[in-house]
Structure 1
Amino acid sequence: MSGAPREALRAAAQLALAGLAAAVLLAGTWALTRERIAESEHRAQREALQIVLPAALHDNDPIADAVSVRAPGWLGQPESTVRRARRGDAPVALVLDATAPDGYGGPIRLLIAIDQGGRVLGVRVTAHAETPGLGDDIEAGRSDWITRFTGRALGDPEPARWRVQREGGEFAQFAGATLTPRAVVAAVRRALQFVAEHGDAVRGAEAGATLSFNDAPADPPPAR
Structure 2
Amino acid sequence: MNRTANVTILTLLAVIGLGATYLVQRSNEPQIAAAQRQLDSRTLLDVLAPDAYDNQPLEQPLTLTEVTLSHSHLVAGYRASREGQPVAVLLRSQTQGYASTLELLIAIDPNGKLLGVKTLKQNETPALGGLIGDWPNAWLAAFTGKSRNEPAESAWALKKDQGQFDQIAGATITSRAVINAIHDALRYFDEHRAALQGSGT
TM-score, normalisation: structure 2: 0.72
Q: 1:127 aligns with which of 121, 127, 140?
A: 121
Shift of 1:172: 0.9
Q: Percent identity?
A: 34
Partner of 1:91: 86
Matched, 1:76 2:69: no
On the 8 A contact 1:121/1:151 being kept in 2, the answer is: yes
On the 8 A contact 1:136/1:142 being kept in 2, the answer is: no
| AA partner of residue 192 (structure 1) | L
On the 8 A contact 2:57/2:80 being kept in 1, the answer is: yes
On the 8 A contact 2:62/2:196 being kept in 1, the answer is: yes
Cα distance in 1 between the residues matched to 2:40 and 2:162: 32
Matched, 1:180 2:174: yes
Partner of 1:140: 134
Which deviates more from structure 2 when the two are superposed, residues 109-118 or residues 168-177?
168-177
Corresponding residue SS for 2:57 = coil
On the 8 A contact 2:97/2:173 being kept in 1, the answer is: yes
On the 8 A contact 1:74/1:191 being kept in 2, the answer is: no
Cα distance in 2 between the residues matched to 1:92 and 1:125: 21
Unaligned runs of 5+ in 2: 1-36
Cα distance in 1 between the residues matched to 2:163 and 2:122: 24
Cα distance in 1 between the residues matched to 2:115 and 2:190: 15
Q: 1:167 aligns with which of 161, 174, 188?
A: 161
Q: CA, structure 1 residues 142+123, in 2 after alignment: closer, same or farther (shift >3 Å)? A: closer
Corresponding residue SS for 1:109 = strand
TM-score, normalisation: structure 1: 0.65
Shift of 1:44: 8.2
Partner of 1:36: none
| AA partner of residue 68 (structure 2) | P
Unaligned runs of 5+ in 1: 1-41, 212-224
Q: 2:145 aligns with which of 147, 151, 159?
A: 151
Q: CA, structure 1 residues 148+45, in 2 after alignment: closer, same or farther (shift >3 Å)? A: farther
Cα distance in 2 between the residues matched to 1:203 and 1:75: 23
Q: CA, structure 1 residues 109+85, in 2 after alignment: closer, same or farther (shift >3 Å)? A: same
Partner of 1:51: 46
On the 8 A contact 2:113/2:147 being kept in 1, the answer is: yes
Partner of 2:58: 63
Bigger relative CO (Cα 8 Å, ≥ 6 apart): 1
Cα distance in 1 between the residues matched to 2:158 and 2:134: 18
Please give the root-mean-square deviation of Cα atoms over the aligned residues, in Å.
2.5
